């Protein structure tokens, strides 16, 4: 049986080895963490540049693992992109939740497929109407899911009712004027300074959506307008 003093000396000899080992592990973990942060920042930067309309609060998440691990296998299975302050045409403060599949980084960053759900609140719709026709006072904006329309109380005291209907054409969604009433009677839209087609399909519509996305559905719900978009293979700008 070893003497207690002998055991103590052996333990002291092992301690420097353990200390060095722990230090090496910590350095390796720190370097890996720094590299992971750099890769994630690079991915976030490319997505933000590809879709500047997503705004400053855009968040990009790597689904299911580490970006470094995915890069080692030459691809990222999925990116989750979100923003609560996006802008699409005249619409601001739009909520976006997007999914990018099979993302591959290289000299050119490619996306195998994309899907996005966009929510335009009634407040955002009201701001868009005010921006498009500054001369028209907008008291409130509500929705009527049963008829699939957006209703805006306009004019002095909100006595007029402007009805808008989402139009899905060529992969884009816009709001078209469906009618205007004053005291419950139909009147021409020019009575409030809104010409025919003032909110028509080409009014403020972007030439194309980012990331190869095209609108596939537009649904009026109690909280606003919900739009679904899908896209096939596309590329992200590198600068």
pLDDT in tens, 49-65: 777 888 888 888 776 65
Q: Which residues of 55-92 are buried (b: 16+ CB within 10 A; e: fewer)?
A: beebebebeeeebeebbeeeebebbebbbeebbbbbbb
Please give the average per-residue pLDDT across 211-236, as a whole number. Answer: 91
Q: Quick check: 173 and 159 in contact, CB under 8 A? A: no
Query: Which pLDDT value is given to residue 237?
Result: 66
Distance CA 101, CA 63 (A): 10
Residues above pLDDT 90, as percent of the chain: 25
Query: Which pLDDT value is given to residue 149?
Result: 95
* 108: pLDDT strictly greater than 70: yes
Distance CA 87, CA 172 (A): 14
Model confidence, pTM: 0.74
Return the minimum-mean-pLDDT range out of 13-22, 161-170, 215-224: 13-22
φ and ψ of 217, to 5 deg:
-155, 155
Q: Quick check: 162 and 154 in contact, CB under 8 A? A: yes
pLDDT in tens, 50-107: 778 888 888 887 766 555 445 544 678 888 889 999 888 778 899 999 998 988 877 7
Distance CA 77, CA 69 (A): 11
Query: Which pLDDT value is given to residue 201?
Result: 41
Please give the average per-residue pLDDT across 181-204, as a whole number. Answer: 62
What is the number of helices (H) and of strands (E) in the chain? 3, 12
Q: Quick check: 182 and 190 in contact, CB under 8 A? A: no
Query: Which pLDDT value is given to residue 215?
Result: 93
The DSSP bridge pattern shows strands 185-186 and 213-221 to be: unpaired
């Amino acid at each position: 049986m070893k003497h207690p003093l002998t055991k103590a000396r052996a333990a002291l000899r092992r301690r420097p080895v353990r200390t060095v080992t722990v230090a090496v592990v910590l350095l390796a973990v720190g370097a890996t963490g720094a590299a992971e942060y750099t890769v994630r920042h690079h991915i976030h930067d490319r997505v933000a540049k590809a879709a500047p309309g997503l705004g400053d609060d855009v968040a990009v998440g790597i689904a299911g693992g580490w970006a470094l691990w995915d890069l080692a296998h030459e691809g990222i299975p999925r990116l989750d992109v979100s923003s609560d302050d996006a802008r699409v045409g005249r619409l601001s403060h739009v909520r976006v939740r997007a999914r990018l599949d099979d993302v591959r980084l290289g000299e050119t960053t490619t996306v195998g497929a994309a899907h996005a759900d966009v929510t335009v609140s009634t407040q955002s719709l009201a701001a868009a109407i005010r921006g498009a026709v500054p001369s028209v006072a907008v008291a409130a904006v509500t929705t009527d899911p049963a008829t699939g329309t957006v209703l805006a109380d306009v004019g002095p005291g909100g006595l007029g009712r402007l009805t808008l209907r989402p139009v899905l054409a060529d992969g884009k969604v816009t709001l078209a004027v469906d009618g205007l009433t004053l005291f419950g009677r139909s009147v021409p839209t020019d009575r409030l300074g809104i010409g025919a087609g003032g909110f028509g399909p080409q009014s403020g519509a972007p030439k194309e959506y980012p990331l190869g996305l095209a609108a596939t559905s537009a649904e009026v719900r109690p909280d606003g307008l919900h739009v679904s978009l899908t896209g096939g293979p596309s590329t992200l700008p590198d600068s």
